[in-house]
Structure 1
Amino acid sequence: MHGATAVVLGGSVAGLCSAGVLAPHFDRVVVLERDELPPGAEHRRGVPQSKHPHFVLNAGRRAIGTIFPGFEESLIEAGGLLLMPSMEAAYGENDGWGPRKSSTMTMIYSSRVLIERVLRDKVRTLAGVEIREGTAVSGLATTGGGTVTGRVTGVEYRDAGGETRTIEADLVVDALGRGSSVRDWLAAAGWPSVPEKTLDAKVTYTSRWYQLPAPSERPPGWWWKHLVLTPTQENGPHPQEHEYLSNFFPIEGDRAISCMGSWGLEMPRKPETFEAAADRLRAPTFAAAMRASTPVSEVHLTRSTGNKWRRYDEIDHPPLGLVSIGDAVCAFNPFYAQGMSSAARSAVVLSDVLSEYRSLDTSFTRDFLDRQRASLEVPWMLAMARDQGYDFAEGTEVAPAWRRKIMAKVSWPVFNAITAAAREDDYVEQTFTAVFNLDKSLRDMMTDPRFVSGLLRHKIREALGRTRVPAGFDIRSDPPGTDYSDPANPVEPAAATPRTATRRTRG
């Protein structure tokens, strides 16, 4: 688009990915970022969630790699860890520790701040892209608000010196996150209120960063790199900490983020209560790992976790010259690690549509919104499947009481059945991996005859005592390190060596 200018509101993951896809199509791309961006991997005010664990799902890895070739390699070179979770993570499940075995899924573990630093480095190499730091977006310039030709024509902002400025734009990308005011600015300019789907399951999570002990100082049972405890399914009295979803999450610099979260419970805010809560978790290994490590941060707590989907696609005449990416359009419960991947996928959708249209007209806008909706429906369905099961959830997507009761009763048992069957059925494992990584929808998985028959077959084998991979190891003991990749020939920890996963998931 010769001579055209695009303006991106926000310089976080969604904004950086957007800048990456805009650069080939616009002569000038301006990113307006409120913060002064650090040169390294450091926290900043505009991304408070960076203090909690983050990872990019495989669909997001591919999307970012499409936008920024070499992203994965750069992230690993900067300290990210390429791991196979089924081999290098210990999972505390309903009936105890799960078995260790190889699978098709890999992950790159790192902090959110490192991911953003690597992305910023990539963006700064792009011709025609300018990042203006210390700028506060204050409004939009528009014409014909709410009409068939209504368009966003520019952005108003205060620069680092406090002076109000306006920049004209052929396309504006809203990447301002959950707190974006774009919806309100559009309403003030004459557009109808953008419909919202919401569901807040009252998730609160709290995290603290730790420096790990040297490998030579770790106990023999510490073979794992990632430790996970899922919520209990006990019916009788038990400590509320058994309801937590907890992670001891490895990141660069031989550090880990200890994170505990819950649906509807108060979470610890202070170091002493944080450690005391860890002591009451189902697995003593978790607190032992924390105490063997050195805390290097305060305790960080987040409550802003509700699911929210702003349905620009449902407006009769959506504003031309504007698209929204990331949390600005669809924000998820962070427990499900869908945010960065969904933002990157939307950016790729934008890239595809830009490549197919010569003009930023109504057809361009409607096509983008339709394709983005299809992309977002996949993670949204996953988030609803879990969060609709809570009686205290609030929002437009609250399920009827009968449905909440069913979902609350079956969601974790179904998850347990899937993970158990996946250990012995490659098709189940590959299908679940695809859904977890946003490569396949939950609906497609649960209506797949081969997948469902695999679950049923495993339940029958389990009832008959004919499963090949043992499970349910004592949660009060250290997680077992035996490798059951070949159930007929398990490899004991003393003979095992750490595995290096392949660079990508198969398929």
Structure 2
Amino acid sequence: MINAEVGPMVLGSVAVVLGGSVGGLCSAGALAPYFDRVVVLERDELPADARHRRGVPQSKHPHFLLNSGRRAIGELFPGFEDELIAAGGLHLMPSMDAAYLDGEGWSARKRSAMTMIYSSRILIERVLRDKIRDVSNVELREGVAVHGLSVHDGAITGVQLSTSAGEEHIDADFVVDAMGRGSSVGDWLVAAGWPEPPVQTLDAKVTYTSRWYDLPSAEQRPSSWWWQHLVIMPTPDKGQHPAEHDFLVNFFPVEDNRVIACMGSWGHPMPRSTEAFLEAAHRVRTPLFASAMDRCAPTSQVHLTRSTGNKWRRYDRWSTPPKGLVFVGDSICAFNPFYAQGISSAASSALLLREHLSRAGSLGRKFCVEFLAEQRKLLGVPWRLAMARDQGYECAVGTEQLPEWKRRILAAVSGPAFSLIVGAAREDVVVDEHFSKVFNLDESLGRMMTNPRVLAGLVRYRIRAALGRERVPYGFDPQEEPPATDYSPAGTATTAPRTGAEV
């Protein structure tokens, strides 16, 4: 459909994107080649630099940019990754650059297949805004409140909005809902005659709280700080222990020599005040977290978030979805943020939209049905990963809540199964590669666990562990500093490519 000489075929005059966050900006990049004009409508006034804004409260917490997401954004906006790093983003190999406390103690430091880009959410959005402002036919409109859609003969034909100047209507050939968890588009569609979409939910009562710090200079840091990222997983101990031992803790590096100290949990109340935050930090499983915070200078108050439930609006199950409308990001499928799936899923949906536009002859109902069907497959991968963990928690509620006997089985096997995979990945390059793909949403967990070579690696590791013949040590005392020794197996590559080997 795309002619190298004349460029992509224009499919319409005006496309409108509702929302100017990551999903909306990526969608604008996907639409730009196929419409004369793309208008992004954003409620907030967008800052020129990397600053927090009201519409993205979760920007105050850590955000991982998974490989699937960074690759999708890179395809939509060539040069994005280089510009993110130039702006201060950190390209790191977590297995070498992160101190990881899992199970009974610290994991060994070693090289692996996985690398990641670390940065704040606000920097990711700032670089994306810079990229989209370079696209000549995309217009960013700020301070706009969208309050309805125009519908004619089963098709979305426009957007109703208000600005400081008054009410306005924009005729549109195509609309993307990127308004996030709180999107009202579904309600507007029901009011226009569509049925209530089926909704799948599971809320595992996740709450997390964060505070920003300036790191000491490299010269002022202790010699034992070989790590840049600190991760403390919940304890496997089933006996009596402090609630803080159940916390998932991150000391997360971002640009400009800053770090986000974050504690989160499933079902526990989390500290809201600075005093409570500091007290809780001293009760987590290792003293390293609190001592690292003590060496840094705080630059924010404590930020708490509780809107973390998994929610999938199943528009794909409508037999006649609206013509000229698709959904990306949290507006269709929102995940527990602990699993870092949101940005990558939104960017991947936008890339999928571009692929469908590139071969579309028209934008009728068939286009929307086919896109929703393909998007269902894409979203199913992170959704099943989130369910595999959250369904095991006793506090979890929603349509996807398991019967108690199934929940108990899942809770009993998920932790040991995860530890088995992590342990095998330490010593088996094939298991490590597939685990990296699953973590980065490049492969489903089901596909990994039916791969004969992966299964053989897991069995081999289990036998070696039972005989005490592991090649890579683990379980170092959490009350001590994590070991700086490089325990990489012989033959492991000394450097990792930026993206090529991570696909």
Q: TM-score, normalised by structure 1?
A: 0.95
Residue 470 (structure 2) pairs with residue 453 (structure 1):
no
Out of 155, 158, 171, the residue aligned to residue 154 of structure 1 is 158
Match in the other structure for 1:376? 379
Q: d(CA) in 1 for partners of 2:489 and 2:451?
A: 27
Please give the per-residue CA displacement for 1:110-147, whole angstroms capped at 9, x wherever unaligned: 00000000000000000211011000011111123xxx
Residue 502 (structure 2) pairs with residue 479 (structure 1):
no
Match in the other structure for 2:309? 306
Contact 2:11 2:363 in 1 (8 A): no
Match in the other structure for 1:137? 146
Q: d(CA) in 1 for partners of 2:378 and 2:491?
A: 41
Please give the per-residue CA displacement for 1:181-221, whole angstroms capped at 9, x wherever unaligned: 00000000101111111100000000000000111111121
Superposition map of 1:353-372 within 5 A = 353-372=356-375
Q: d(CA) in 1 for partners of 2:256 and 2:220?
A: 17
Match in the other structure for 2:50? 41
Q: d(CA) in 2 for partners of 1:84 and 1:393?
A: 33
Superposition map of 1:401-440 within 5 A = 401-440=404-443
Q: State the shift of 1:500 in Å.
A: 6.6
Match in the other structure for 1:54? 63
Please give the per-residue CA displacement for 1:255-295, whole angstroms capped at 9, x wherever unaligned: 00000000000000111110110100111011000000010
Match in the other structure for 1:112? 121
Question: SS state of the match for residue 472, structure 1?
Answer: strand
Out of 334, 337, 357, the residue aligned to residue 334 of structure 1 is 337
Match in the other structure for 2:498? 503
Contact 1:207 1:259 in 2 (8 A): yes
Match in the other structure for 2:75? 66
Contact 1:58 1:505 in 2 (8 A): no
Residue 356 of structure 2 aligns to which amino acid in structure 1?
A: V
Match in the other structure for 2:15? 6
Contact 2:13 2:37 in 1 (8 A): yes
Contact 1:308 1:332 in 2 (8 A): yes
Question: SS state of the match for residue 422, structure 2?
Answer: helix
Contact 1:204 1:301 in 2 (8 A): yes
User: How many percent identity over aligned positions?
Assistant: 63
Contact 1:83 1:501 in 2 (8 A): no
Superposition map of 1:21-420 within 5 A = 21-144=30-153, 150-161=154-165, 163-420=166-423
Question: SS state of the match for residue 208, structure 1?
Answer: strand
Q: State the shift of 1:308 in Å.
A: 0.5
Q: State the shift of 1:449 in Å.
A: 2.1
Contact 1:104 1:505 in 2 (8 A): no
Q: d(CA) in 2 for partners of 1:413 and 1:255?
A: 34
Contact 1:53 1:249 in 2 (8 A): yes
Question: SS state of the match for residue 423, structure 1?
Answer: helix
Contact 1:57 1:437 in 2 (8 A): yes
Q: d(CA) in 2 for partners of 1:469 and 1:174?
A: 48
Q: d(CA) in 2 for partners of 1:220 and 1:131?
A: 47
Q: d(CA) in 1 for partners of 2:84 and 2:146?
A: 30
Q: d(CA) in 1 for partners of 2:312 and 2:29?
A: 24
C-alpha change, 1:322 and 1:399, in structure 2 (3 Å) is same
Q: State the shift of 1:477 in Å.
A: 0.5
Contact 2:232 2:250 in 1 (8 A): yes
Q: d(CA) in 2 for partners of 1:301 and 1:2?
A: 44
Contact 2:149 2:156 in 1 (8 A): yes
Residue 358 of structure 1 aligns to which amino acid in structure 2?
A: G
Q: State the shift of 1:2 in Å.
A: 5.7
Residue 210 of structure 1 aligns to which amino acid in structure 2?
A: Y
Q: TM-score, normalised by structure 2?
A: 0.96
Structure 2's unaligned 5+ residue stretches are: 1-9
C-alpha change, 1:292 and 1:155, in structure 2 (3 Å) is same
Please give the per-residue CA displacement for 1:292-349, whole angstroms capped at 9, x wherever unaligned: 0010000000000000011111001101110000000000000000000000110011
Please give the per-residue CA displacement for 1:414-460, whole angstroms capped at 9, x wherever unaligned: 11111111011011000111111111101111222221221111011
Q: d(CA) in 1 for partners of 2:226 and 2:314?
A: 46
Q: State the shift of 1:400 in Å.
A: 1.5
Question: SS state of the match for residue 39, structure 1?
Answer: coil
The number of equivalent residue pairs is: 492
Q: Which runs of 4+ in 1 moved over 4 A?
A: none
Q: State the shift of 1:160 in Å.
A: 3.1
Q: d(CA) in 1 for partners of 2:296 and 2:439?
A: 31
Match in the other structure for 1:465? 468
Contact 2:120 2:255 in 1 (8 A): yes
Question: SS state of the match for residue 351, structure 1?
Answer: helix
Q: State the shift of 1:57 in Å.
A: 0.7
Please give the per-residue CA displacement for 1:78-129, whole angstroms capped at 9, x wherever unaligned: 0000000000000001120000001111000000000000000000000211
Structure 1's unaligned 5+ residue stretches are: 145-149, 490-498
Residue 185 of structure 1 aligns to which amino acid in structure 2?
A: W
Q: CA RMSD in A?
A: 1.3
